[in-house]
């Protein structure tokens, strides 16, 4: 009789958005002066609901007026935070 091994593995990806800085600036989308929030999106890989490592990290600028999201490079993020 063959023995059957059943494995149940729970893994997933979850994304956390964190605001790093907020500066007033002119939005490229709506052309209005509003708070531009620099946000970090970190996607984490978790196993059995325990976050193991950061899978992907991206930066974006969020306009407080129109709510648009613009993806920015790491260099752009460093220029905004320094």
Which residues here bind Zn ion, judged by CB under 5 A? 27, 29-30, 63, 65-66
Q: How far is the CB of 62 from Zn ion (least distance, A)?
A: 9
Evaluate whether 41 touches 16 at the Cβ level (below 8 Å).
yes
Closer by beta carbon to Zn ion, 5 or else 24: 24
Closer by beta carbon to Zn ion, 52 or else 66: 66
Q: Residues with Cβ < 8 Å from 37, sequence gap 6 or more?
A: 19, 21, 22, 61, 62, 63, 64
Distance separating alpha carbons of residues 53 and 44, to the nearest angstrom: 6
| Other beta carbons within 10 Å of 68 | 14
Closer by beta carbon to Zn ion, 64 or else 79: 64
Q: How far is the CB of 69 from Zn ion (least distance, A)?
A: 10
Q: How far is the CB of 74 from Zn ion (least distance, A)?
A: 22
């Amino acid at each position: 009789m063959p023995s059957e091994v059943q494995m149940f593995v729970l893994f997933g990806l979850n994304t956390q958005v964190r605001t790093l800085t907020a500066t007033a600036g002119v939005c490229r989308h709506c052309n209005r002066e509003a708070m531009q929030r620099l946000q970090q999106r970190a996607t984490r890989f978790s196993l059995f609901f325990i976050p193991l490592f950061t899978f992907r990290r991206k930066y974006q600028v969020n306009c407080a007026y129109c709510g648009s999201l613009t993806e920015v490079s790491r260099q752009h993020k460093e220029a905004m935070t320094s």
